[in-house]
Amino acid sequence: MTVQVGQVRAIVGAIKSLEAAINQALDVHPYAALFRALPRVGTVNLAQIIGEIGPMLERGLNADQLAAEVGMAPVTRASGKVHAVGFRHGANRPARKALTHFADNSRHDNPWAADLYRRARERGKRHPQTVRVLGRGWLRVIHACFRDGTPYDPAIHHARQGRATA
């Protein structure tokens, strides 16, 4: 029993040292200040978003291109009378995973995200589809923060989206 306790303590110590290293890297990263205020982003998820989505932002993609590359945009297939909307499998999977985890967590703490999630569910979307809808909305916010060089502020960024969707 004491060997197992020692192993668990070693693992917990390693996790703490890794979290400290991630925090130290985030403290000097220029994008961390832009995205740190996102609701329920957390340290590890923030690092994932910066690491996976940051390079795409630097390439100058607009929000719709970014959504397609991350796998948040649906794929439409049409042939004759058959029309199908499906899931984009050819995407940056680590970026999609980071964004879907963040989007799913954000709906528990952010009224805008909770409302967007609720409305999508009322339209008959399943949970995975709804999280992708929410992720696409967050990508627009992240893109606006990056483009304007302003940290995330719900009063600014969600007001803009409300005017864009109205």
Q: How many CA atoms lie within 13 A of 18 on its CB side?
A: 8
Query: Which of the two residues, 85 and 105, has the higher pLDDT score?
Result: 105
pLDDT band at 162 (very low <50, low <70, confident <90, very high): low
Helix spans in the chain (H): 2-28, 32-35, 43-58, 63-70, 93-106, 111-122, 127-148, 154-165
Query: Is the pLDDT score of 166 beyond 50?
Result: no
Evaluated on CA atoms 54, 40, 32, 47, the torsion sign reads: negative
In one-letter notation, the amino acid at residue 53 is I
How wide is the angle at C-alpha 25 spanned by C-alphas 71 and 65, nearest 5°? 20
